[in-house]
Amino acid sequence: MIKKLKIFWAVIPKNLIVFLGISLFFKLAANGNKVAEIYSIAFQNVFFVFLFYYIGIIFHEFGHILFAKLFGAKPRSIIFGYGHSVANFKIGNLKIYIKKMMHRGGLAYATFPKEKQSRIGYFFYCAGGIIVNLLFVVVFLLIEKFDLSFLFSSTISGISEAVIIANSFLVLFNLIPYNTTNQGISIETDGKQMYNSFKKNKNKLFDDTQTEMFDAYELFEQKKYDEAIQIYQNIIEIKPNDLLILHNLGVMHYIKGEFDIAISFYNKIDNAIKNGQPFNNKVFFYYNFAWALYLQGNHELALEYSYQAYLIAAQSYYVKLIRGGMLIENNEIDKGISILKEIIDFKFEEFTYQASVFLMLAYHLKGDNKTMLKYKDYVKKQQVTNASTAVFLNKIMKRISEN
């Protein structure tokens, strides 16, 4: 129960607590003061706008999946937010990933079998989230006439109008056709994808290997790395220059502790990028390449590629992890500690485990045995989940024992 409360506290957007707290403060302090009562109601309604905005995000992503399924696609996954992984679970065959900052938006994925691939189906898949949000707006407009004065209203109509404002914003924001970024990866908004559903070449809308790609990823999650590698190898025979497939093959071999093989794939990608071939996943490529080089023993190149990742997405937890670790290995210990402490959260193992291993080394090098033991105790309680993590831990422990 305590663990669930900690997770709930970590996930809930803090601005909701702030707005509700301010509203309650003015309500308790009002004592007949009309100005204080107005402020209390105003903050209460702002709280409802943000609350229904976050709820609207959830319905938005499920809207994509709903319309994808209506047009024959296979629902694959929804990712809410980013940062530390909080929970993963399935609803039927749909995989749900909840991240710590789940209020920052989401991504919904579905794959269309060849016989169901159509521009209209792809359009409604992209538009599904907006349609669901728009339905909320229409339904609540019918219930209550829209009136901005709800901000200073104490009646239940404030909630109805908060739903309208929150979902209207989601509709308008997602309709704008532009490219946004998620951890350094360029992503088209729903509006741009809807526009491209009729403008782009149909072969670019539908990748015939997408289903196999998702199948391979599911095998990766089940730790069936050899089976995943086989699928990627089959795809690479069809698309030998596909950088994403080469990258994923590198990741599979890296996880297995086969760093030389992983680096051979990463070198192909690196050469292609240097020769001008575009690659949307550059930040994750640099992140994984730095890890493979580091565990192979090439600290100098690992530092360089961690910097390349940092230039693209300095705020990414992944990038902070490898950059902070490489700075510590480069004897820029305080800089590395500062970066790694930004991603440490002992409620969640993701990022925290590897960051703690690096911090264990950092505080050992600083001669701070008490702090080093704090991170060492945490590391000892966690399970080593794959070969590359075991190599990493052994590498750090060896360094500590030798110094």
In the predicted model, what is the mean pLDDT of residues 100-107?
A: 82
- Both tokens assigned to 3: 């663990």
Q: How far apart are CA 134 and CA 371, in angstroms?
A: 52
Tell me the per-residue pLDDT of 183-195, one tens digit each, with 9 for 90 and over.
Answer: 788 899 999 999 9
Q: How far apart are CA 165 and CA 49, in angstroms?
A: 7
- Is beta strand 106-111 parallel, antiparallel or unpaired with respect to 74-80? antiparallel
Tell me the per-residue pLDDT of 340-385, one tens digit each, with 9 for 90 and over.
Answer: 999 998 887 788 999 999 999 999 999 999 999 999 999 999 988 8
The SS3 assignment for 275 reads: coil
Helix axes of 210-221 and 243-255: crossing angle, nearest 10 degrees: 10
Query: Which of these ranges, 57-71, 85-99, 106-120, has the smallest mean pLDDT?
Result: 85-99
Q: How far apart are CA 218 and CA 304, in angstroms?
A: 32
Question: Does pTM surpass 0.85?
Answer: yes
Q: How far apart are CA 293 and CA 288, in angstroms?
A: 9
Domains along the sequence of the chain with CATH: 2-203 (no CATH), 281-402 (1.25.40.10)
Tell me the per-residue pLDDT of 123-169, one tens digit each, with 9 for 90 and over.
Answer: 999 999 999 999 999 998 888 765 556 555 554 456 888 898 899 99
